[in-house]
Homo-oligomer: A and B are copies of this chain.
Amino acid sequence: MADSISLADKLATFEDFWSPRTVTTFNDCDVMVVKVKGEFTWHKHDDTDDFFLVLKGQLDIELRDRTVTLGPGELYVVPKGVEHRPVAREEVHLMLIEPTGTPNTGDKATAAARKLA
């Protein structure tokens, strides 16, 4: 793993949406970057909080009772067990942190494979 990690450089290595790339690890977590656009599925993670930091664009994190809107330099941690749906009306770049092996949909059957950047 390289020493310093540029989030922008890692984001420049791919174009596909909703496919997080692991850029490094922190304890037992993957630190990831992802490009998103459109609506993800409603899901929850029973065993972990879900960390979102917006790097570019504006992300709505829909919760069942309200929507959390994040711009660049803003973060939100969805508590474990809380249903949420990320919605990006434009292309949005994010840094995510989740325990290694966490399925992105909260369900291993429908989760996208985790890739390295």
Contacts and interface: CB of A to CB of B under 8 A. Distances in A.
A4 interface: yes
B49 A7 contact: no
A contact face: mostly helix, strand, loop, or mixed:
strand
Interface string A75-92: 111001000000000000
Interface residues of A, number: 30
Contacts of A3: 66, 68, 76
B24 A68 contact: no
Given A3-B68, A68-B3, A75 B27 contact: no
Given A8-B73, A26-B77, A27-B99, 8 more contacts: A3-B68, A4-B68, A5-B74, A6-B74, A7-B73, A26-B51, A53-B95, A55-B73
